[in-house]
Amino acid sequence: MYPSASTQSQMFQFMPNQPEMFPSPVKGTVEKTILGNQLGRIKCLGSFWFAKLYQANDINNIPVGKTVDVIGRVGNTLLVMAN
């Protein structure tokens, strides 16, 4: 049996492309350079994650080894800001 239309709309209320902001930043370390709007990779809380700049204003890249503030996520990609 398939769920009713109202049940389906309740099941799909998540927005995978909408940013989810964290209540407080977490530190991470860049493992693959984050360039502009391209994905990089960071290590955060003992795991490796895709990461991208939350706002690419004056900073266009963050090189390997730099510490970043992780402020949120979109799907499985973390949103970061340079320190």
| pLDDT per position as a tens digit, 39-76 | 999 999 999 999 999 986 767 899 999 999 999 999 99
In this structure, what DSSP letter does residue 36 have? Answer: T
First-last CA distance in the chain: 52
Output the pLDDT for position 71. Answer: 97
Q: What CA–CA distance (Å, rounded) separates 83 from 69?
A: 7
Query: What's the CATH fold of domain 25-82?
Result: OB fold (Dihydrolipoamide Acetyltransferase, E2P) (2.40.50)
Q: How far apart are CA 16 and CA 1, in angstroms?
A: 26
pLDDT of residue 37: 81
30-45 confidence digits (pLDDT tens) = 999 999 889 999 999 9
